[in-house]
Structure 1
Amino acid sequence: MPYRRRRVLGALLIAFAIALYINQTGPQPQTPPSIPSSTSVTTGDRAQAMLEKLPVKGRAPKTDYTRTQFGDGWSLIGTCDMRNIILHRDLSNAVVNDSCKVTSGILNDPYTGTVIAFARGPSTSDDVQIDHVVALSNAWQTGAQLLSLEERTQLANDPLELLAVDGDANQAKGDGDAATWLPANRAFRCQYVARQIAVKAKYHLWVTDAEKSAMQRVLETCPDQTVPVVTGGV
């Protein structure tokens, strides 16, 4: 199949997956406007006000936590998995093959403020990783173990919870919360914390004292910061 036809087919597969996602789940929260997106993004509640509504508790034990508590890897929407749907959302000039895989693109990385030329391959794919903004083990210890497996799987594949980011930054974050890890890119910290708050509110999770204090310190620098709200698309 000629290259141009393969690229068009790949783009159509992604578009089909997005349409299926909208029909299955309805409008979902989305990335800040600074990240390339195919959706219309508006602002929602102020992050500070939403943070004040979150319960404050200590961390539950990590007992029984495994990645499979949040589903068996990435969910499929049509023939496209969420990793590639998020790559397509967050990368500019994304090229998609006829297997619904993003093969290349440019990431304006929100965590480091650097620009990454992404190329799919054995030694390069991990240069860009998909981060769970609220680390799954953190979610497990702040209320997710009380959710059903279906709800946890939805959390792990929710576009609100997912960002394409620099691989090394994602590894450095590990399972840290706002009290132990924040993006090196200070310009993104307000949006990052607001997104964590939105995820915790949506899935009825709580914050620890230290986590809330760290979030408050960040939001003191941007009291008008709002949480992202999507009005269409993935």
Structure 2
Amino acid sequence: MTVSWSAYRRARRRSRQAWALVVLLACAAVALVAWFFTAGQFAVAEPAMAGPTAAPVFDAAFMKPVVPVHAVPQGSAREALEGLPVKGRAPNDNYEREAFGQAWLDVDRNGCDTRNDILRRDLTGVIFTEGSKCRIAAGTFDEPYTGQVVDFRRGQESSKAVQIDHVVALGDAWQKGAQQLTPQQRQSLANDPVNLIAADGPANQQKSAGDAATWLPKNKAFRCHYVARQISVKAAYGLWVTQPEKDAMKRVLDTCPDQSTVTAG
């Protein structure tokens, strides 16, 4: 049988169209499978991020409150943020840790230094060193910055794995009003339990003197409490925020409009 050239061309064209349709359907199938395993049913079943949403603040059984410069505003953290002055950073070329007093004093005069008070407050299953009612040897806690369960063991190297973080870093406080505080007030700021949290050592080192604009905890479930705690400390000690810092805090609080301030009460 003789096939005309035009019929042959029509057959070739129909063949190409058929293959194009097959390729298109295959691509659509691949895209559907990708959606199914990412944004589809498995996204619904994805577990929420593990980790604490808050951290201990005060334990009246063995701690005494540190008196701040001002009382922490009660109620909404968002409203307290609006009450903070907004300014630029002051120079930090004259910052020294000693401006906030000797590290880990017994400011509340309960017989134990601040570091051990915070470890005792934040850890569970606390074990004291032999012959001491203050010095913490070991314990476990839900670390708030990473959301992981962390074991603390006292030792020359192992102690570094758990550090006591100043929620409002002292270097940040120095650039945002602490230079105008008295030495006694700065000492209170550095030892106030509202401003202290036991934290993962590497996370604390990464944070350094950063504010909310430059560093937030990896554990997103903890960010509302963390930001509210920073706001509370800044309000209590008459510190200010920068505009980028305030913007970052507002973005966090937008996810938790009912977040309250944090006090030692």
Q: TM-score, normalised by structure 1?
A: 0.81
- Paired positions, count: 201
- Distance in 2 between residues matched to 1:204 and 1:25, nearest whole Å: 13
- Distance in 2 between residues matched to 1:164 and 1:137, nearest whole Å: 18
Code of the residue aligned with 2:220 in structure 1: it is R
Contact 1:160 1:199 in 2 (8 A): yes
Equivalent residue number for residue 93 of structure 2: 63
Equivalent residue number for residue 104 of structure 2: 74
- Distance in 1 between residues matched to 2:249 and 2:212, nearest whole Å: 6
Give CA deviations for 1:107-155 in whole Å, capped at 9, x if unaligned: 2000000000111111201111000000101000000000001000000
- Is 2:157 aligned against 1:127? no
Equivalent residue number for residue 157 of structure 1: 191
Code of the residue aligned with 2:116 in structure 1: it is N
- Report how far residue 78 of structure 1 moved: 4.2
- Report how far residue 207 of structure 1 moved: 0.2
Out of 97, 113, 116, which is 1:84 matched to?
A: 116
- Distance in 1 between residues matched to 2:82 and 2:125, nearest whole Å: 39
- Report how far residue 185 of structure 1 moved: 0.2
Q: Secondary structure at the match of 1:227?
A: coil
- Report how far residue 44 of structure 1 moved: 3.8
Equivalent residue number for residue 229 of structure 1: 263
Q: Could you tell me which runs of 5 or more consecutive residues in structure 2 were left unpaired when the two chains were aligned.
A: 1-58
Equivalent residue number for residue 224 of structure 2: 190
- Is 2:82 aligned against 1:52? yes
Contact 2:67 2:188 in 1 (8 A): no
- Distance in 1 between residues matched to 2:232 and 2:61, nearest whole Å: 27
- Report how far residue 79 of structure 1 moved: 3.4
CA, structure 1 residues 66+117, in 2 after alignment: closer, same or farther (shift >3 Å)? same
Out of 87, 94, 99, which is 2:126 matched to?
A: 94
- Report how far residue 15 of structure 1 moved: 8.2
Equivalent residue number for residue 40 of structure 1: none
- Report how far residue 17 of structure 1 moved: 5.2
Out of 157, 172, 191, which is 2:206 matched to?
A: 172
> Which of 1 and 2 has higher RCO (CA within 8 Å, sep 6+)?
1
CA, structure 1 residues 25+57, in 2 after alignment: closer, same or farther (shift >3 Å)? closer
Q: Secondary structure at the match of 2:150?
A: strand
Contact 1:109 1:166 in 2 (8 A): yes
Identity %: 54
Contact 1:17 1:79 in 2 (8 A): no
- Distance in 2 between residues matched to 1:16 and 1:179, nearest whole Å: 36
Equivalent residue number for residue 115 of structure 1: 149
Q: Secondary structure at the match of 2:189?
A: helix
The structure with the greater share of residues assigned to strand is 1
Contact 2:193 2:264 in 1 (8 A): no
Contact 1:56 1:208 in 2 (8 A): yes
- Is 2:251 aligned against 1:207? no
Contact 1:95 1:102 in 2 (8 A): yes
Q: Which runs of 4+ in 1 moved over 6 A?
A: none
